[in-house]
Amino acid sequence: MSHFDFIVIGAGVIGTSVAHHLASLGARSVLVVERGMIGAGTTSQSSGLLRTHYSVRQNVELARASWWAFNNFAEYVGDDEASCGLVKCGYMICAPDGPKLDPLRASLDAQRAMDIEVQLLGRDEARERLPIAQFDDAALIGFEPEAGFADAYLVATSFAKSARRRGVKILEGTTVTGLVREGRRVVGIETNAGRFTCATLISTQNIWTPELSGWIGVPLPVAAERHTVLALECEARYSYQMPAFKDLGSAGMLYYRSYGGSQMLVSEGVVGETLNAPETEQGDISLDYVAEVGAQVAERFPAYETAGLASSWTGVYDVTPDWNPVLGKMGDIEGLVVGFGFSGHGFKLSPAIGKLLAQHALGQPTDVSLAPYALERFATGALLTGKYGLGAVS
């Protein structure tokens, strides 16, 4: 068979979510084409944090719309054995006096106005929840009890399994090399396994979206940016009961969570290293870098002054100028839907994004408006820039 109603390029957590939702919403003929293996792109590099905390209200909406799926994952994908690896440890975020304080207060207020449970903690209450940290400088501490983290690879493979069970065909090891066009309409793809035609093409190519840009001849604002993640180990264990934590007071806007129930996973929430080409190869991590991040960690977590480096890795974000995704159609090109530019925070949004893109592709009303995420915002100036500066909180 070489004709499908829908073709999805990419089987990361976004593409597999689109496929799952297309099939759940009644699409009969869906093909997913993946160059490598399911989830083996940037999805497998994810830190997996789940929160609804954002300074951009539209993102709060998308994160909230995704939350039921993570909490009821087996039911959501219709498979009793499915798990997303959810660790519901809560999410704590703190700011000292200074420029991040008012944005944090406004974001917490906005969440509460949307009926999301958010608590304000005193320093002692924060220490009770995260006893390995000190909060002497904290002027405001927010806590989201329903948040936590999960496993993005498990989510992608579960979405893929569900999609396959519902009749979706997933071709791994197959590369899309170009589009088939009839005037302004996209009608198919060229691959190393031949030509496939479709009524609607959905590109979820992440850092490889510049390929699409070349095929359609439209510049797309997305760059590949490498980020480093460290796992640290010391006697002060970072247990699964301790919340994930965002330190708006640190130079690197560091985020933390438990890693394996005892180690600390830490990474920066600021602009990373721009790559000239999309690739997920491991980058160099210098000892100077580890020392620089380690010094910031030790300020917040004193026992980590003498922590050892247990492991480290790099991952790549698909970053747009306002650090928020582009969702929906591509100008006046017909038959094409895109989802790219997740800028390091796409996992927590993946159930909602998959459903919204599927609804959009099916011509159905979307649960949440995609209009704020239109490509045109970069021309009109209606950007979705977060209030904490550029970085993955948005």
Residue 202: CB minimum distance to ligand FAD, A: 11
Stretch of 131-139, 159-167, 198-206, 365-373 lying at the interface with ligand FAD (CB under 6 A): 198-206
Other beta carbons within 10 angstroms of residue 51's beta carbon come to 25
Size, binding site for ligand FAD by CB under 6 A: 39
First-to-last alpha carbon distance for the chain, in angstroms, is 43
154 touches ligand FAD by CB under 6 A: no
Beta strands in 129-175 (DSSP E): 138-144, 148-149, 169-171
9 touches ligand FAD by CB under 6 A: yes
Exactly one of 111, 204, 250, 359 binds ligand FAD (CB under 6 A); which one? 204
Exactly one of 6, 7, 8, 12 binds ligand FAD (CB under 6 A); which one? 12
Exactly one of 315, 335, 354, 391 binds ligand FAD (CB under 6 A); which one? 315
Q: What is the secondary structure of 312-346 as a DSSP string?
A: EEEEEEEE-TTSS-EEEEETTEEEEEEEE--TT--
Cα(261)–Cα(267) distance, rounded to whole angstroms?
17
Residue 253: CB minimum distance to ligand FAD, A: 13
Exactly one of 23, 27, 77, 152 binds ligand FAD (CB under 6 A); which one? 152
Sign of the four-CA dihedral 181, 183, 184, 187: negative
DSSP state of 52: -
Exactly one of 4, 6, 20, 41 binds ligand FAD (CB under 6 A); which one? 41
223 touches ligand FAD by CB under 6 A: no
15 touches ligand FAD by CB under 6 A: yes
Cα(353)–Cα(99) distance, rounded to whole angstroms?
31
Stretch of 28-36, 101-109, 231-239, 380-388 lying at the interface with ligand FAD (CB under 6 A): 28-36
User: In the window 84-113, what residues touch ligand FAD (CB under 6 A)?
Assistant: none
Tracing tokens 């396994």 back to the chain, one arrives at 193
Residue 106 corresponds to which tokens in the numbers above? 């406004």
Between 306 and 311, name the residue whose CB sits nearer to ligand FAD: 311
Give 187's contacts (C-beta < 8 A, 6+ positions apart): 180, 181, 197, 198, 199, 335
Between 102 and 207, name the residue whose CB sits nearer to ligand FAD: 207
Q: Are 106 and 142 in contact (CB under 8 A)?
A: no
Between 66 and 98, name the residue whose CB sits nearer to ligand FAD: 66
Binding site for ligand FAD (CB under 6 A): 9-15, 33-36, 40-43, 45-49, 152, 175-176, 204-206, 208, 211, 227, 229, 315-317, 342, 344-348
